[in-house]
Amino acid sequence: MDNRPIGLLDSGLGGLTVVKKVIEKMPNEKTIFIGDQAHMPYGDRPKEEIISLTRHLVRFLLDQDVKIIIFACNTATATAMKVIAPEIDRQIIGVIQSGALAAAQTTKTKKVAVIGTTATVNSEAYVDEIKARDHEIQVSQLAAPLLAPLVEADEGPEIRQKVVEKSLAPLKADTFDTLVLGCTHYPIIASEIRRVVSPKTMLVDPADQVSQYTQNVLRRDGLLADDKQIPDHRYYTTGQAAKFTKVARQWLNDPSLETLHVD
């Protein structure tokens, strides 16, 4: 048993979609989440800068003595995970591997589309991971750099829908039965995305598989928390705490949630 918290990081608010699934799957585990809103979005930044920013978040979580770290950010997973993992003594779990597995298991026509940040798409991490599981699957990708900032801006439904429709317009010419939400911000606007794609299209949220895989790893390594532990969830942002708190309370359905600002 290990009652230390699970650490999660993201470039902004999107990682809350992973936090939500982790809490649902493992309700007695503690969590610590850090969102780097001050430098969001990561997807348009150079590789070395993404690695540096992510490394700062990892160090913050290590200072909180977390037992495992989840990269609740596709861009950080695609760009920084392989570099940082050998540098620390805690296991890192990324969202792309889990999302790829879920996509490979979901598609019936072997045609999968992935939407993500520019950095995630350019890395071709999803293409490699999905084809590693089934080389016959055809994978198309679309960079949608406006969507993560859209979530962070907390715009109204009409504006959200217009931006989503414009961003995903190129997908109308594509044929696929499975769409991977390749940025953890995207599940927050899943209803808007659903209105753009075919009603028969399956949306894959990697957070579902990530939470299950994390539980499996903790069980395997004897790191699950005591069943009687009272969970404690802490939230930090490098941006505006009040703005973060507003969205986090809504998404996690926790009116008592508070966020602390860190530099």
Other Cβ atoms less than 10 A from the Cβ of 198: the count is: 13
CA dihedral angle for residue 141, residue 188, residue 99, residue 172, rounded to 10 degrees: -30
In the chain, CATH 3.40.50.1860 sits at 6-94+208-261, 96-205
- The upper half-sphere exposure of residue 248, i.e. CA atoms within 13 Å in the direction of its Cβ, equals 25
Query: What band does 155 get if pLDDT is binned at 50, 70 and 90?
Result: confident
Residue 193's nearest CA partner among 164, 166, 221, 228 is: 164
The one-letter code for the residue type at 44 is D
Residue of 183, 193, 197, 225 marked catalytic: 183
* pLDDT higher than threshold 80 for residue 91: yes
User: How many of the other CB atoms lie within 10 Å of CB of 197?
Assistant: 18
The confidence band for 181, taking pLDDT boundaries of 50, 70 and 90, is: very high
Asked if 183 is an active-site residue, the reply is yes
Residue 188 is a catalytic residue: no
Q: How would you class 139 by CB atoms within 10 Å of its CB: exposed for 0-12, middle for 13-18, buried for 19 or more? A: buried
CB 164 within 8 A of CB 98: no
144-154 pLDDT per residue, tens: 999 999 999 88
| pLDDT value at 123 more than 80 | yes
Domain 6-94+208-261 coded CATH 3.40.50.970: no
CA dist., res. 40 & res. 46, Å (int) = 13
* Domain 96-205 of CATH type 3.40.50.1860: yes
Whether the predicted pLDDT of 229 surpasses 90: no
Please pick, among 13, 61, 72, 73, the residue that the annotation labels catalytic: 73
**230-243 as b/e: b if 16+ CB within 10 A:** eeebebbbbbebeb
In angstroms, rounded to a whole number, what is the distance separating the alpha carbons of residues 70 and 215?
A: 12
pLDDT, tens digit (0-9, with 9 covering 90-100), for 27-69: 999 999 999 999 999 998 999 999 999 999 999 999 999 999 9
* Among candidate residues 225, 202, 177, 165, the one with its CA nearest the CA of residue 22: 225
Model confidence at 172: pLDDT above 90: no
Q: pLDDT for 3-24, tens place per residue? A: 999 999 999 999 999 999 999 9
CB 188 within 8 A of CB 14: yes
